[in-house]
Structures are given as structure tokens and as C-alpha cells.
């Protein structure tokens, strides 16, 4: 099995020889790829739900990788001990869930050297959390798969830095590197912001709200960035 698209991009961001855990692993495709591709010698695959945990276990057993991949049932990084791994991958979940997982066992999070995160929504919340909790974003990728654009954020321990708030939405690294899919990404952010404003504009109360004001500003800032591309 060779991974493509989003999962392949996540695998590429794992440093060779690191100790890695894939949290919310589902079928354990990622840890299997990493071990079979000799990127890592062993890995931990965690999932909170019985169905995905069973699927991961069966898959790992069927490939004879039981001694190399430890499949654990439990919530987020609570399945890990501090210092047990260097890298945690959390992919395919909402940004808020990712943050809850990272705050669920701070002694583990503090012991990590790299986070590889792929939020399905609210990537801006994840970037803000990383900055406020002294993680530096060292890499960011945009991956298009089956018509959908995915954001991957890679962070390592660092210090809080000041950042233009709109960059939490766009991704400072994506902006600076002039990522190939950046224009599509900004277009999608603009469309999403317009949709929220459109819905809110149906109510006089909503139009007077702080949220409406924030979204109006967000739209102006995104359009200004789009003009700079
Ligand atoms: C959409 S799947 C993503 C699977 C894989 N990571 C990927 O990116 O393709 C989300 C998985 O995360 C698991 N999950 C959700 N919340 C979790 C949590 N708090 N701790 C561990 N696993 C979780 C779900 O059971 C599910 O298997």
C-alpha cells in the first residue's frame, strides 16, 4: 500500500528515525506507511473509538507488524507517557478537537519535539493556540485531494511571536513561501467569510453583533491579501 495525497504529505513531514504516534489513527494507514517505508522503526497508533481501534489492530496484525506498531485505545494523547515519542500526528479532526487533545495531557505535549496537525476546520484556532502556547510553525502545506483543500501545520517548541491576526487564517508560512495553492486557499477563505456574512445579514441583531463586525474586517483583510498575490 502506497499512500497518496494528504496522508502521503503527512508522512513526508515525519523526520526519519523519530519516535512517532498517530492519534486518531483510524485504519493505521499512516503508522503502517511510516514503518514499511523505513522512516521509523516503530510507532504508536491511538484511537478513542472501538471501531477504528479494531480496524487499526486487524490491519496491523494482518501485515505482521504487531511488534512494531502499538495500537492503543484511548482519548487523545492520554495513551502516551511523557517522553515516549518525539512526534505526534493529529489529522482529520476539527481544530478544537486537536486543541483539546493537546491540552488533555500537558506533560506529554511539553515533551514533544514536533506536532504535525491537519485540522479539517478551524485551522486559524489551531495556529493561534500554537502561538499562544509557544510553538513555532516551522512548515505548512496545502494539499488538494478529490477537489478538497487540506491544511497541514507543523510546529516545534519555540516562543510566542507577534503575527498579523489574518495570518492565523491564511498561514504565515504558506503566505511567505507563496505556496502553489495559496490563491485557491485565500479564495476559499473569502467565499466562506462571505457565506457567514450573507447568513448574518438576514437578521438585524446579527448585523449589529461583534461577530458581524469581525467577519466584515476579516473579509476586507483577506481581499487586501488577495490583491497582493
Ligand atoms: C476522520 S478520522 C481521521 C483518520 C486519520 N487520522 C486521517 O487523517 O485520515 C478521525 C479519527 O479520529 C478519532 N478520534 C476522534 N477524537 C479522538 C480523540 N479524542 N482521541 C483519539 N482519537 C480520536 C476517530 O475515532 C477517528 O478514527
Joined together, the cell numbers standing for residue 43 give 510507532
For the chain, the domain total comes to 2
Phi, psi of 60 (to 5 degrees): -65, -45
Gap from CA of 47 to ligand 1 centroid (Å): 6
What residue owns the CA closest to ligand 1's atom 24? 24
Q: Are residues 142 and 215 in the same domain?
A: no
Report yes or no on 220 lying in a domain.
yes
What residue owns the CA closest to ligand 1's atom 2? 92
pLDDT (tens place) for every residue of the chain, 229 residues total: 678 899 999 999 999 999 999 999 999 999 999 999 999 999 999 999 999 999 999 999 999 999 999 999 999 999 999 999 999 999 999 999 999 999 999 999 999 999 999 999 999 999 999 999 999 999 999 999 999 999 999 999 998 788 899 999 999 999 999 988 999 999 999 999 999 999 999 999 999 999 999 999 999 999 999 999 9
Q: Are residues 115 and 23 in the same domain?
A: yes
Nearest ligand 1 atom to alpha carbon 46: 21
What residue owns the CA closest to ligand 1's atom 12? 24
Of 130, 161, 192, the last residue of a domain is 161
Pocket of ligand 1 (CB under 6 A): 23-26, 46-49, 52, 75-76, 91-93, 97, 101
Joined together, the cell numbers standing for residue 158 give 519555540
What CATH number corresponds to the domain at position 106? 3.40.50.150
pLDDT at residue 179, rounded to an integer:
87
Gap from CA of 138 to ligand 1 centroid (Å): 24
Query: Mutate which of 25, 26, 45, 50 to test ligand 1's pocket (most atoms within 8 Å of Cβ)?
Result: 26
Cα-to-chain-centroid distance, residue 217: 25
Report yes or no on 91 lying in a domain.
yes
Report yes or no on 177 lying in a domain.
no
Question: In angstroms, rounded to a whole number, what is the distance separating the alpha carbons of residues 25 and 31?
Answer: 8
Q: Are residues 72 and 139 in the same domain?
A: yes
The whole domain housing 206 covers 184-227
Q: Are residues 141 and 189 in the same domain?
A: no
Q: Are residues 156 and 189 in the same domain?
A: no
pLDDT at residue 162, rounded to an integer:
81
Q: Are residues 157 and 189 in the same domain?
A: no
Nearest ligand 1 atom to alpha carbon 120: 1
Report yes or no on 172 lying in a domain.
no
> In this structure, what DSSP letter does residue 15 have?
P
Gap from CA of 26 to ligand 1 centroid (Å): 6
pLDDT at residue 159, rounded to an integer:
80
Give, in order, the Cα–Cα distances in Å from 75 to each of 26, 59, 85, 103, 194.
Answer: 13, 20, 16, 12, 36
Amino acid at each position: 500500500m502506497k499512500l497518496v495525497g494528504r496522508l502521503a504529505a503527512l508522512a513526508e513531514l515525519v523526520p526519519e528515525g523519530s519516535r512517532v504516534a498517530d492519534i486518531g489513527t483510524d485504519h493505521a494507514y499512516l503508522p503502517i506507511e511510516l514503518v514499511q517505508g523505513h522512516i521509523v522503526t516503530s510507532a504508536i497508533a491511538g484511537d478513542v473509538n472501538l471501531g477504528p481501534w479494531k480496524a487499526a489492530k486487524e490491519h496491523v496484525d494482518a501485515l505482521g507488524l504487531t511488534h512494531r506498531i502499538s495500537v492503543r485505545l484511548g482519548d487523545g494523547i492520554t495513551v502516551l507517557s511523557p517522553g515516549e515519542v518525539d512526534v505526534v500526528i493529529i489529522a482529520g479532526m476539527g481544530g478544537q478537537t486537536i486543541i483539546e487533545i493537546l491540552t488533555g495531557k500537558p506533560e506529554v505535549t511539553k515533551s514533544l519535539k514536533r506536532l504535525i496537525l491537519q485540522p479539517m476546520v478551524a485551522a486559524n484556532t489551531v495556529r493561534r493556540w500554537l502561538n499562544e502556547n509557544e510553538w513555532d510553525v516551522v512548515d505548512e502545506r496545502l494539499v488538494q485531494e478529490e477537489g478538497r483543500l487540506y491544511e497541514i501545520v507543523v510546529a516545534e517548541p519555540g516562543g510566542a511571536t507577534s503575527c498579523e491576526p489574518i495570518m492565523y487564517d491564511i498561514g504565515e508560512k504558506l503566505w511567505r513561501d507563496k505556496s502553489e495553492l495559496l490563491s485557491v486557499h485565500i479564495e476559499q477563505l473569502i467565499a466562506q467569510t462571505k457565506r457567514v456574512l450573507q447568513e448574518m445579514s438576514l437578521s438585524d441583531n446579527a448585523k449589529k453583533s461583534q461577530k458581524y463586525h469581525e467577519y466584515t474586517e476579516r473579509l476586507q483583510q483577506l481581499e487586501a491579501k488577495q490583491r497582493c498575490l
